[in-house]
Structure 1
Amino acid sequence: MITIQSVELYRISMELKAPFVTANGAYVDRETILIEITDSEGNSGWGECVAFATPWYTEETVQGAWHILQSFLIPTLLGVSLQHPKEIPAIFSNVKRNQMAKAGLEMAIWDLYGQIAGQPLHQLIGGVREELKVGVAIGLQSTLDDYYRLIDQYTADGYERMKIKIKPGHDITLIEDLRSRYPKLPLMVDANSAYGLNDITHLQQLDDYNLMMIEQPLAADDIIDHAKLQANMKTPICLDESIITYDDARKAIELGSCQVINVKLGRVGGMTEAIRIHDLCKEHDIAIWCGGMLESGIGRAHNMALASLSHFTIPGDISASARYWHKDVILPEVKIEQGGVLLPFGAGIGFEVNREYIEQLTLERLKFNHSR
């Protein structure tokens, strides 16, 4: 039994080693919310609310999530006794959506559960791997030479799949050049909803370049138009922002809206829902992979556990800590070793949290205690 005694929130800011540019803008630092939950016995676990500072990816933001956490979710959680983290979605069912805020708390409880059980999180959820093959996302660059430099560097580092951000005016010619230089490179593109259904003819040109997939080409809340687009393209469509819940995934599969689904723990509300979506994709032979949200090492550690499940066969966005950060908030940092990432075997997420460094990064901090 886990009885929730306290919840502590840390709003931190981490400087990126280089700007990360998408169709929606450039990011030079990353605000995020780290969450520590402590039980009545003094055990603690960590999670991360991965909302961004602005609502470009989903409607959630850091400030909005901070409000939802302290005003609604945490008061519901304090003093609650749980047998298992899978009980959390039902406890939060009175709060609509706000998946990233919910996920941050649920992650922390999964870590806490692992700490108490003395087992790695990836084993607790039924993971089958000890090593993960990894991919990397490359934001929009100024020149082709910048792309070549990064791809050569990441290939040498052991990354097995490259995701290239695209947008109108920065797409077909770019991919043609990259495919000409790297004819056998596992390559995919991510549009972050930058196109419309009237772009079908334009997007069909991507079929010539043997891409693994095109991720979220159309609106973030759409599955119907994506079905029309997929029916007219050979390249597999991957849905990302469109999949918020298990039911979204079920409907997209039934409609033929995609051949691939990208699961992000924050976007779908946490580990419990992510596992359900994984099992659904496995049942219907829909490819699935684990995406990234420029997380700190805490969120990345949870992603690693998720990606250990059997049907995650595509290298995920589980980059080394040094890919994005001068210094990470976990010890040891995530590293690429022999072309992959080794899963930790410590209890819970398997990493030590660097409290001293978190204190240096903290912009705002709140603690909530259960009154006995």
Structure 2
Amino acid sequence: MPRVRELEVFRLVLPYGRRSESLLVKLTDHGGMTGWGEATAPGGKTWSKLEESLAALLIGVDWEHPDTVPSGDPAVDMACWDLWTRMRGVPLAEAIGGTRTSLMATVRLAPDASVESLVARVNQQVCAGYGHVTLDIRPGWDVEPVRAVRQTYPALPLAVDCGNAYTDLGQLVALDSYGLGVIERPFATSDLYTHAALQDQVAASVAVEVGSTAELDDYLALRAARVLLLRPAAFPSLSEVRRAHDRAAAAGWDIQCTGGQGAGLARAATVAVASLPGCTLPCDVTQPPRQNQIVTPIVDASAGMIAVPLTQSGLGHDIDEARLRRLAKESFHA
């Protein structure tokens, strides 16, 4: 039974890319075993809440399972799962019900300076071994780049991510003639009826991202999509992530795990979740920059595939604590 004797919390502003923020939690039990968790883009309120309440919640308290720790915070929940599985000598993927040993990856490509440049980047990734590509599109950068990539690669499995940027169906329905597999996040999350209307008019599967099973249930009731974009960092706990997976799979939906931000721990949890049996679509954890990661080995794809760490307990990665402490903008210890 875990009993935490020491905790540390770190706030990182990651030095590359968009300089995103992460919050890392380290739990140490009385035997010296440690567990780590990460929340990406946690915000100031999360930091304040942790500083005020985390010690009282965890220090010296016996708990039998991560579900019995009522933190409501994904970093704390992940750290509890990491500690709990390390104490039992089992991989996190196995503990939550994962069955896959490796995952197909998609590579995500942002809008480019020109269509020709984008096609060249797609060629580079295909030559590197990727068998699936996701194009980020926006109004004004949609039909032409998709047409150009499809003409160059007629058989390449292709998805588009709209970033919730569209308000009507027109351009997205036009894209359906280019053999897309998935149209991700087309409209604002709250606009369920427009999602449903699009799904009725296109052969591609509409994919939605939610942060709770209640939101997912609304989409399921309207048949407003056919794919769940499952981002573990958006849920308060891994058990809630598993419940969302189970509901989507039971409804016959495909599931894609996504989560390329952060310092590596959140990515590692995404890989563990992506090993669940219902996660049928290529995993998206390859979003750069790799230099932000403080875990070894880094979480990344090789020749379009991602290994699930099933020979190591917990998250399956070591932490570069020296680099973490150099990057930390704030920390507290209890």
Kindly provide the amino acid, as one letter, of the partner of residue 358 in structure 1.
Answer: L
Contact 2:106 / 2:304 at 8 angstroms: preserved in 1?
no
Q: C-alpha separation between the residues in 2 aligned to 1:224 and 1:7?
A: 45
Deviations 1:155-187 (A, max 9, x none): 223223211111111111221112111211111
Q: 2:37 aligns with which of 37, 47, 50?
A: 47
Q: Which amino acid aligns with 2:202?
A: M
- Aligned partner of 1:262 in structure 2 is 229
What TM-score, normalized by structure 2, do the two folds share?
Answer: 0.93
Paired residue for 1:236?
A: 205
Per the alignment, residue 122 of structure 1 pairs with 93
Q: Which residue matches 2:276?
A: 309
- Structure 2 match to 1:97: none
Give the alignment partner of residue 31 of structure 1, picking from 21, 33, 38.
21
Q: What is the TM-score of this pair, normalised by structure 1?
A: 0.84
The 2-side partners of 1:221 and 1:72 are apart by: 32
Q: How many residues are aligned here?
A: 333
Which one-letter code corresponds to 1:360 in the other structure? R
Mapped partners of 1:176, 1:227: distance in 2: 25
Structure 1 residues 222 and 81: alpha-carbon distance in aligned structure 2, compared to 1, 3 A threshold: farther
Mapping of residues 328-347 of structure 1, within 5 Å: 328-344=293-309, 345-347=311-313
1:360 matched to 2:331? The reply is no
2:249 is aligned with 1:274: no
Q: Is 2:103–2:307's contact at 8 Å kept on the other side of the alignment?
A: yes
Kept in 2: contact 1:10–1:33 (CA 8 A): yes
TM-superposed deviation, 1:74: 5.5
Match of 2:252 in 1: 285
Listed as ranges, the matches of 1:1-372 within 5 Å are 1-16=1-16, 19=17, 27=18, 29-51=19-41, 61-72=42-53, 75-88=56-69, 91-92=70-71, 102-196=73-167, 199-240=168-209, 243-319=210-286, 323-326=288-291, 328-344=293-309, 345-367=311-333, 369=334
Q: CA deviation at 1:346?
A: 1.0
Does the aligned pair in 2 maintain the 1:14–1:325 contact within 8 Å?
Answer: no
Contact 1:37–1:109 (Cα < 8 Å) also in 2: yes
Cα deviation digits, residues 283-334 of structure 1 (max 9, x gap): 11110010124222211111111111111111111228xx422363111223
In structure 1, the gaps of 5 or more residues are 20-26, 52-60, 94-101
Give secondary structure in 2 for the equivalent of 1:63.
helix
Query: What runs of 5+ residues in structure 2 fail to find an aligned partner?
Result: none
Query: Quick one: which amino acid aligns to residue 236 of structure 1?
Result: S
**Equivalent residue of 1:10, what SS?**
strand
| Identity among equivalent pairs (%) | 28
CA contact (8 A) 2:230 2:241 kept: yes
The amino acid that maps onto 1:318 is V
1:45, distance to aligned residue in structure 2 (A): 0.7
